[in-house]
Structure 1
Amino acid sequence: MQHIELLRKKQVGLRLPEYLVQELDELSAEYDLNRSEIIHEAIRAYLEEQKSRRFYSEFEQAAKELKAVVYGDACGQSLQDLIHELEDQ
């Protein structure tokens, strides 16, 4: 659960193309939400996706480095290649 201080809201300005505002309004009417709720959820989901991508990218790089250390200067493999190789042993 988020700390109460992190849940405080701050107003920001935002300019969007008209077609996005129209789509946003259609979606908000369909699900009985307001624009802010939809934009909030979209930004939160986007940030989580970016964090996840960064984590897996860094994890894959760490796996390549680990393999290079374990096997000497082995050519860098992808995470999937390393997993398959370890499963076959």
Structure 2
Amino acid sequence: MRSLAQLKKQQVGLRLPVYLIEQIDEFTKEYNLNRTDIIIESIKSYLEKQEAQKLYDEFDMACKELKEVLDDPKKADELQTLDELLDEL
């Protein structure tokens, strides 16, 4: 959830290619929205997708590292449980 301060809108200037403006204008007519609404939703969708991809990439890297450790018996013997790691702290 966003705070009221975060939801406050700030005007920015954008230079967009004409074809994008034309596509945005088609959506404004088709869905009865204004340019601002379409651009906001597009940016939010893009950012959510990027965050999800970042999370997926980090998870994939962690899985590869775990597989590497588990495939090496020497490293597997050195593994600790989470409780053991917390006890060390």
TM bin, normalised by shorter chain, reads 0.7 to 0.9
Percent of aligned positions that are identical: 49
3-state SS of paired residue (2:49): helix
Query: 2: distance between equivalents of 1:31 and 1:9?
Result: 22
The 5-angstrom pairing of residues 17-56 of structure 1 reads 17-56=17-56
TM-score (norm 2): 0.75
Partner of 2:84: none
**Deviations 1:37-79 (CA, angstroms, capped at 9, x unpaired):** 0000000000000010110011000011111122218xxxxxx
Larger Rg: 2
Question: Runs in 1 of length 4+ with deviation above 6 angstroms?
Answer: none
Residue type of the alignment partner of 2:56: Y
Which one scores higher on RCO, CA 8 angstroms, separation ≥ 6?
Answer: 1
- 5+ residue gaps, structure 2, are 74-89
Aligned to 1:63: 63
Stretches of structure 1 lacking an aligned partner (at least 5 in a row): 74-89
